[in-house]
């Protein structure tokens, strides 16, 4: 999706918290405990304190089933619990559900719920509450843009008894449990769904470690500790209520202002440290990083109309850009060049893709010669029958972040060296949407999508995932080989079969240059030394349940 | 501005009109007729801006519903649902009629993205923007007055210095001034908050930034007005009667310098509103500017047109006020109309 949602709606993944914490420590000097200049209080966690977190965007809606922005989920994770928690190796741990069974045809999931769980309004958690949340997610009136698409196979639920619910699917869906583990399917108080109606966005009521306190529009969202909380997720470092008294998210859109707020002690934690300011943060505070799973920032290529229908031209473009050098210089070594559309932090990422399509301008040149683009015009661009080799790449300026415009200009400059005219230009979002609908007026469209499940590949390239069908297949690619692997990936009950299928799809996309993966980003979080216990969930969201403040 | 020897005694003139007779006398009737005409004109301006906003949004390329939903996940069912809910399934003239009808009833509609009423959204944020705009404006006006009174017609060095400073301020972007102020007064010396600034403390840096962007123009215009007034015969006659320099400048010349300032105040509503957009973003302040930026980014049409209408109302109101103020500051106008 474009922009806020194009930045990537996040879903969770398979790296459990302890592993994520380990990854944090791999980046030197970024360790929460070791190597930091924290006072001598890093040993015993203490309760109390108010944490101020400055993040770049304001949520649109805190109803987890409706809000689709990253920041919606980031905040909702503290207010809402999920049925299951995603754990290492594609397994799932009990959370609000203590156990579950899957029917042999994989179309019915039966969950047993944890007793004694209370929503913030005092309503107890029961099977009817779970059904109310799922029905709300797929209710067209609720206008869920994202949660509904995650559980598109959901066909209804049966309340077996107060603590048992049977969820029915219209078709087998391997990513279903993973979808349930995300904040986007956090369980809401049924009383709140019934009574708050259209104002659910402003009045979220869940069962999580923090209770929604208030939302000062344009300024901040404040949450306070839920003193009754006794049902934390299994991989958390402690049990019982959260340690912080309160958690305030303020919205500071300017990168430099967020950074200044952190270094001057006005914010305890900030999101999205610009890659070039990482050294500043390391000098004064701590830098915590988590690699983001999902589809990396990828150039999707138009294989239906225009010059890129010729595979030789696509491969020439693929080999004409020195992505390694470009990523290093634009992102100051903080983001890594990616060889696969799946980021290395995604389950079933295929290591064999590494170095499989190195920079090779000579090869690019000969491929273009073979494709008949042998002429040259006055500006040095290649021509065929007097027509210049032009690739149109429009983007929406309001939705660019992370220096992507500079990065795009870098690609443009590299392609020019082999004679390809990449027309990288800002376009009105409405015009861009119309171009995407027709598919005839653009050759390249770029986006990333944070999601900790390999099914994101299916979402990008499956012929059943075109935009009109609710997917992200922007150029309506229809490829029988890919569809076969996606079919296996979605329906198999064998993790090994899914891994093999996803690996084959990743290699196939590179071999036929259907898309150009560029860089894999990391969540870069700046935190004051007094902040302890920040971990990341499988989607690279920071978690606050275990967090405590030292001196 | 032709020299008139009565200009240094405007109170007398004022008295003439005020005491022009009971209601119904020609002067008062003219005043009312003028006021009603101006009010009607304001209504036309507001309705005209609402129409212009509607047309501009209609002319934007692309399907508004699909743009709103973003490029992925557009199932036909969802598109149809949203199209129906937002009224885009009606032809454009019906939509225009509905829009204007709602507007006349004071209903600004429902935000597509934020799932809340536009009226409450705007009025929740309006106070914060007005607070910023008024403080910034008053600050700029006071400092510009002091600068103009003290430096107009003074030694070239002093005058030149003040004038250069004003020109530099007038050409600096507000964004840059804001970041500079934050860097020193918030990040380095920690005198004022950079985030979540509520209350007076949080208002200082944003309003100073806004004032600095206006100050250059204000002071330049005022000094020129002062200098023109100081060169007029009535100043000479006043000095000849033994008035001190301060009395001449503050009591006589300043009033003349205020006339173009009133015009400038009307103009500055636009500058204040557009300045607020930038300043609210840098200082993370709530307000109309931020609402507008996020609405434009997410194509939230009811919010965009709501902000346009509210801005048009503010613009008309202030311009009406300036026209009234003219008559207070410059009695010659009243005479011309009466």
| Statement to judge: residues A257 and A299 lie in one domain | no
Residue count of chain B, please give it: 338
| Statement to judge: residues A166 and A278 lie in one domain | no
Helix axes A495-511, A480-491, angle to 10 degrees: 160
- Boundary-marking domain end, from A165, A190, A215: A190
| Statement to judge: residues A329 and A454 lie in one domain | yes
What are the b/e assignments for A118-151, b being 16+ CB within 10 Å? bbbbebbbbbebbbbbbbbbbeeebbbbbbbbbb
Residue of chain A nearest B289, judged by CA positions: A218
A-chain residues near B290 (CB < 8 A): 218
| Statement to judge: residues A90 and A69 lie in one domain | no
pLDDT for B335: 59
Minimal C-alpha gap between A6 and chain B (Å): 8
Residue A51 lies in a domain: yes
Residue B269: Cβ within 10 Å count: 20
Query: For B85-109, what is each residue's pLDDT tens digit?
Result: 788 888 999 999 988 998 888 888 8
| Statement to judge: residues A396 and A413 lie in one domain | yes
C-beta atoms of B69 and A469 within 8 A: no
Collect the ranges in chain B with pLDDT lower than 70. Answer: 1-27, 71-73, 196-198, 333-338
Query: For B168-224, what is each residue's pLDDT tens digit?
Result: 988 888 889 999 999 999 998 888 888 766 678 889 999 999 999 999 889 999 988
Residue B85 lies in a domain: no
Residue of chain B nearest A476, judged by CA positions: B72
Structural domains in chain A (count): 3
Residue B107 lies in a domain: no
C-beta atoms of B196 and A220 within 8 A: yes
Residue B307 lies in a domain: no
Q: Report the DSSP pairing between strands A421-426 and A390-395.
A: parallel
Looking up residue B263, the CATH number of its domain turns out to be: 1.10.3720.10
Instruction: Please state the ipTM of this predicted complex.
Output: 0.78
| Statement to judge: residues A472 and A528 lie in one domain | no
pLDDT for A223: 98
From the list A325, A328, A323, A326, the residue with the least C-alpha distance to A339 is: A323
Structural domains in chain B (count): 1
C-beta atoms of B78 and A219 within 8 A: no
Q: Which domain holds residue B269?
A: 118-298
Residue A257 lies in a domain: yes
Residue A17 lies in a domain: no
**pLDDT tens track of chain A, all 551 residues?**
333 333 333 333 322 222 233 333 333 333 333 333 333 345 789 999 999 999 988 898 999 998 888 899 999 999 999 999 998 666 899 999 999 999 999 999 999 999 999 999 999 999 999 999 999 999 877 777 788 888 989 999 999 999 999 999 999 999 999 999 999 999 999 999 999 877 899 999 999 999 999 998 888 999 999 999 999 999 999 999 999 999 999 999 889 999 999 999 999 999 999 998 999 999 989 999 999 999 999 999 999 999 999 999 999 999 999 999 999 999 988 999 999 999 999 999 999 999 999 999 999 999 999 999 999 999 999 999 999 999 999 998 766 777 899 999 999 999 999 999 999 999 888 888 888 888 889 999 999 999 989 999 999 999 998 887 778 899 999 999 999 999 999 998 888 999 999 999 999 999 999 999 999 999 999 999 999 999 999 889 999 999 999 97
| Statement to judge: residues A475 and A332 lie in one domain | yes
Residue A18 lies in a domain: no
| Statement to judge: residues A480 and A529 lie in one domain | no
Residue A26 lies in a domain: no
Taking only residues 76 to 135 of chain B, the set having a beta carbon closer than 8 angstroms to any beta carbon of chain A reads 76-78, 81-82, 85, 113-116, 121, 124-125, 128
pLDDT for B254: 86
Q: For residue A358, report the phi and psi dihedrals to the nearest 5 degrees.
A: -65, 160
Minimal C-alpha gap between A378 and chain B (Å): 34
Minimal C-alpha gap between B182 and chain A (Å): 8
| Statement to judge: residues A516 and A447 lie in one domain | yes
Q: Identify the H or E element spanning A316.
A: helix A311-320
Q: Assess B74–A contact: CB distance below 8 Å, yes or no.
A: yes
- Give the nearest partner residue to A436 out of B71, B115, B290, using CB atoms: B71
A-chain residues near B75 (CB < 8 A): 468-470
Residue B206 lies in a domain: yes
Looking up residue A119, the CATH number of its domain turns out to be: 3.90.76.10
pLDDT for B261: 85
pLDDT for B196: 64
pLDDT for B231: 87
Residue B155 lies in a domain: yes
From the list A469, A466, A463, the residue with the least C-alpha distance to A436 is: A466
| Statement to judge: residues A158 and A264 lie in one domain | no
Residue A155 lies in a domain: yes
Distances (CA, A) of B117 to A96, A251, B68, B114: 35, 22, 17, 8
| Statement to judge: residues A182 and A265 lie in one domain | no
Residue A382 lies in a domain: yes
Residue A15 lies in a domain: no
Q: Assess B187–A contact: CB distance below 8 Å, yes or no.
A: yes
- Boundary-marking domain end, from A190, A218, A245: A190
Q: Which domain holds residue A328?
A: 294-520
| Statement to judge: residues A356 and A491 lie in one domain | yes
Looking up residue A540, the CATH number of its domain turns out to be: 3.40.190.10
């Amino acid at each position: 999706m474009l922009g806020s949602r194009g930045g990537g709606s996040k879903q969770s993944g398979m790296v459990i918290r302890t592993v994520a914490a380990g990854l944090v420590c791999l980046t030197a000097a970024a360790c929460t405990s070791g190597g930091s200049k924290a006072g001598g209080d890093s040993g015993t966690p203490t309760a109390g304190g108010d944490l101020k977190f400055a993040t770049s965007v304001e949520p649109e809606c805190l109803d987890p089933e409706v809000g689709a922005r990253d920041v919606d989920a980031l905040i909702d994770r503290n207010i809402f619990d999920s049925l299951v928690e995603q754990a290492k190796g594609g397994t799932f741990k009990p959370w609000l559900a203590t156990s579950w069974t899957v029917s042999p045809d994989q179309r019915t999931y039966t969950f047993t719920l944890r007793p004694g769980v209370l929503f913030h309004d005092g309503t107890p958690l029961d099977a009817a509450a779970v059904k109310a949340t799922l029905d709300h997610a797929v209710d067209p009136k609720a206008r869920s843009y994202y949660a509904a698409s995650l559980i598109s196979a959901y066909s209804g639920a049966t309340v077996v008894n107060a603590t048992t619910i049977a969820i029915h699917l219209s078709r087998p869906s391997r990513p279903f449990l993973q979808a349930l583990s995300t904040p986007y399917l956090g369980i809401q108080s049924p009383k709140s769904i019934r009574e708050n109606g259209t104002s659910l966005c402003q009045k979220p009521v869940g069962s999580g470690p923090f209770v929604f306190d208030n939302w000062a529009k344009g300024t901040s969202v404040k949450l306070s500790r839920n003193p009754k909380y006794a049902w934390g997720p299994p991989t958390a470092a402690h049990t019982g209520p959260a340690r912080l008294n309160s958690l305030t998210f303020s919205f500071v859109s300017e990168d430099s202002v967020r950074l200044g707020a952190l270094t001057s002690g006005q914010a305890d934690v900030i999101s999205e440290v610009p890659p070039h300011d990482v050294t500043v943060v390391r000098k004064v505070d701590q830098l915590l990083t988590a690699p983001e799973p999902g589809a990396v920032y990828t150039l999707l290529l138009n294989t239906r109309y225009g010059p890129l229908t010729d595979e030789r031209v696509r491969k020439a473009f693929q080999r004409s850009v020195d992505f390694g050098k470009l990523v290093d210089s634009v992102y100051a070594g903080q983001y890594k060049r990616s060889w696969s559309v799946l980021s290395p932090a995604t389950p079933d990422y295929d290591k064999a893709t590494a170095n499989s399509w190195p920079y090779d301008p000579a090869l690019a040149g000969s491929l273009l010669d073979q494709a008949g683009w042998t002429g040259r015009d006055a500006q040095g661009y290649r021509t065929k029958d007097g027509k210049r080799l032009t690739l149109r790449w429009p983007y929406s300026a309001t939705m660019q972040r992370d220096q992507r415009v500079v990065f795009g200009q870098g690609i443009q400059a590299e392609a020019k060296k082999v004679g390809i005219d990449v027309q990288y230009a800002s376009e009105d979002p409405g015009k861009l949407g119309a171009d995407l609908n027709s598919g005839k007026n653009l050759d390249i469209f770029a986006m990333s999508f944070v999601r900790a499940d390999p099914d994101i590949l299916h979402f990008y390239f499956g012929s059943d995932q075109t935009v009109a069908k609710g997917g992200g297949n922007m150029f309506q690619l229809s490829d029988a080989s890919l569809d076969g692997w996606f079919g296996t990936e979605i329906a198999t009950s064998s993790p090994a079969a899914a891994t093999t299928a996803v690996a084959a799809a990743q290699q196939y996309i590179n071999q036929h240059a259907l898309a150009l993966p560029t860089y894999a980003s990391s969540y870069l979080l700046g935190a004051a030394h007094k902040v302890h216990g920040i971990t990341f969930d499988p989607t690279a969201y920071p978690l606050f349940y275990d967090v405590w403040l030292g001196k | 501005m032709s020299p008139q020897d009565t200009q240094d005694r405007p109170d007398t003139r004022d008295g003439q009109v005020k005491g022009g007779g009971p209601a119904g006398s020609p002067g008062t009737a003219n005043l009312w007729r003028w006021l009603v005409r101006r009010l009607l004109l304001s209504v036309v301006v507001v309705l005209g801006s609402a129409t212009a906003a509607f047309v501009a949004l209609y002319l934007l390329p692309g399907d508004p519903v699909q743009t709103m939903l973003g490029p992925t996940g557009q199932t036909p069912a969802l598109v149809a649902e949203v199209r129906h809910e937002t009224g885009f399934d009606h032809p454009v003239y019906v939509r225009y009629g509905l829009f204007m009808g709602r507007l006349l009833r004071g209903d600004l509609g429902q935000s597509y993205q934020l799932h809340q009423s536009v009226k409450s959204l705007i009025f929740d944020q309006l106070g914060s923007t007005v607070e910023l705009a008024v403080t910034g404006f008053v600050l700029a006006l006071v400092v510009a007055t002091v600068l103009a009174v003290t430096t107009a017609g003074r030694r070239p060095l002093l005058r030149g210095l003040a004038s250069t400073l004003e020109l530099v301020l007038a050409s600096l972007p507000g964004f840059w001034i804001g970041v500079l102020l934050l860097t020193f007064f918030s990040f380095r010396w920690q005198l004022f908050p950079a985030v979540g600034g509520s209350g007076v403390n949080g208002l200082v840096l944003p309003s100073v930034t806004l004032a600095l962007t206006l100050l250059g123009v204000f002071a330049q215009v005022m000094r020129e007005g002062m200098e023109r007034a100081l060169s007029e015969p009535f100043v000479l006659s006043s000095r000849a009667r033994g008035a001190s320099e301060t009395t001449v400048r503050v009591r006589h010349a300043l009033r003349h310098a205020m006339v173009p300032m009133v015009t400038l105040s009307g103009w500055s509503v636009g500058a204040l509103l557009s300045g607020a957009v930038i300043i609210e973003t840098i200082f993370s302040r709530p307000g109309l500017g931020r609402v507008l930026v996020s609405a434009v980014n997410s194509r939230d049409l009811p919010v965009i047109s709501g902000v346009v209408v509210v801005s048009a109302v503010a613009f008309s109101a202030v311009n009406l006020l300036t026209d009234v103020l003219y008559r207070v500051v410059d009695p010659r106008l009243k005479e011309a109309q009466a």
